[in-house]
Chain A
Amino acid sequence: MKKVLIVDDSLISRRMIRQLVSNFNFDIEEAKNGREALEKIHSSNFDIIFLDLLMPDMDGIEVLKNLNQSKRTEKVVVISADIQQTTKARCMELGAVAFLNKPPKEEEFVNVIKQLI
């Protein structure tokens, strides 16, 4: 079974993403900020990470930088409210495999996951 991690400071966002992910048979874990996410990532093997950008106590960009540096192979899907092209380009440059606008549309979201598995 594939393991996924949902990283978002907002409870409601985590729930929303969890709901979308529940269409698949995944083992789901959650983290409330970048720091917590990195702890979980480095002690376990995830296949996909759903990552928010704006979070207190280490934001998503920092998480991407860290994963980049430690040469991790998890596939990162950024889900952010900051929909500027410049932001998206920065995330892709840091190794994200997809960028979804918040709130994610179900169809788009499912398409991205299908491509990843």
Chain B
Amino acid sequence: MVFTNIHLDIFQEMINIGVGRAANLLNSLSGKHVSLSVPSIKLFDYKNLINELESISKSDNLSCVLLIFSGEISGSSCLIFPTEQASKLVLAFTGIQTDDLDFDEIQAETLSEIGNIVLNSLVGSIANNFGISLNYSIPLYVTGNLNQVLSSEISSNQNGLILYARTHFKIESLDIEGDFLFLCKLESVPFIIQ
């Protein structure tokens, strides 16, 4: 099983298309122009998860929106933000100015919607590209450190493959960074390579 630059190039385009759709939906939701970009994209396996996600793996305070899917490809996808980034993102949509950055359930609920839009666009773009339809869970919202956030995914997908993309949202004067992970189970990998 070998991944070549072509695979990465295809993934990059799928992600770009997904991100473009997400930006469009977020724009119609907020009435503001959204610049979404994906400065880097990587493929790696579970063993390297912690090393590869160095920037967020040390934080104890992550907010994560998770979407589990099954079908021809099984696995999950998630969007992870350090909590202060999540706060900023919610702020960009609600316009509620607050200096306390603690993240309550209502803010989490709003993040779920925003994260859900981005995840759906990204996963939808991937599924479209493969010409498959998948079964999806209701989006979940999880907080904690990286291990807690991904614990169930990690334990059930030890040998899978991870597609990682750093996403960058720019809404008016706010710059927000988050990480998109597409985790698929080992048995789905041959399908993807084909």
The answer to whether A and B touch in the complex, with CB atoms under 8 Å apart, is yes
Task: Scan A54-74; emit 1 where CB is below 8 A from any B CB, else 0.
Answer: 100000000000000000000
- Return the contact of B27 from the options A10, A12, A86, A103 (Cβ within 8 A): A86
Which of B13-21, B70-78, B131-139, B148-156 is near enough to bind chain A?
Answer: B13-21
Of B4-12, B51-59, B157-165, which binds chain A?
B4-12
Check B34–A81 contact: CB distance below 8 A: no
Name B24's contact: one of A12, A54, A83 (CB within 8 Å): A83
Q: A81 to B22, alpha carbons, bound, how many Å?
A: 10
CB distance from B108 to the nearest CB of A (A): 26
- A23 to chain B: which residues have CB within 8 Å? none
* Assembled-state Cα–Cα distance A90/B33 (Å): 11
- Encoded as 1 (CB less than 8 Å from any A CB) or 0, chain B from 31 to 67 comes to 0011011000000000000000000000000000000
Bound form: Cα–Cα A54–B167 in Å = 13
Which residues on A sit within 8 Å (CB–CB) of B19? 81-82
- Dominant SS at the B interface? helix
Complex Cα distance A103/B18, Å? 11
Contact A10 B13 (CB under 8 A): yes
Q: Which chain B residue has the least Cβ–Cβ distance from A87? A: B33
Say yes or no: is B23 at the interface (Cβ < 8 Å to chain A): yes
CA gap between A82 and B24 in the complex, in Å: 7
Chain A's nearest CB lies how many Å from the CB of B194?
A: 15
Chain B residues within an 8 Å CB radius of A12: 6, 9-10, 13
Q: Nearest B residue to A11 by beta-carbon distance?
A: B9
Q: How far is the CA of A83 from the CA of B20 in the complex (A)?
A: 6
B52 nearest CB across to chain A (Å): 21
Tell me if A115 is interfacial: C-beta within 8 Å of chain B. Answer: no
Query: For residue A86, which residues in chain B have a CB less than 8 angstroms away from its CB?
Result: 27, 33
Closest B residue to A86 by beta carbon equals B33
Contacts of B10 in A (CB 8 A): 12
Partner of A81, one of B5, B6, B17: B17
Interface residues of A in 81-100 (CB under 8 A from B): 81-87
Residues of B within 8 A of A82 (CB): 19-20, 23-24, 36
| Contact residues in A for B6 (Cβ distance below 8 Å) | 11-12
20 examples of A-B residue contacts, CB within 8 angstroms = A10-B13, A11-B6, A11-B9, A12-B9, A12-B13, A13-B13, A54-B37, A80-B20, A81-B19, A81-B21, A82-B23, A84-B20, A84-B24, A84-B27, A84-B34, A87-B33, A101-B20, A102-B13, A102-B16, A102-B20
Show the binding face of A for B, using Cβ within 8 Å.
Answer: 10-13, 54, 80-87, 101-103
Beyond A82-B36, A83-B20, 14 extra complex contacts between A and B, CB < 8 Å: A10-B12, A10-B13, A54-B16, A81-B19, A81-B21, A83-B21, A83-B23, A84-B24, A84-B27, A84-B33, A84-B34, A85-B24, A102-B13, A102-B16
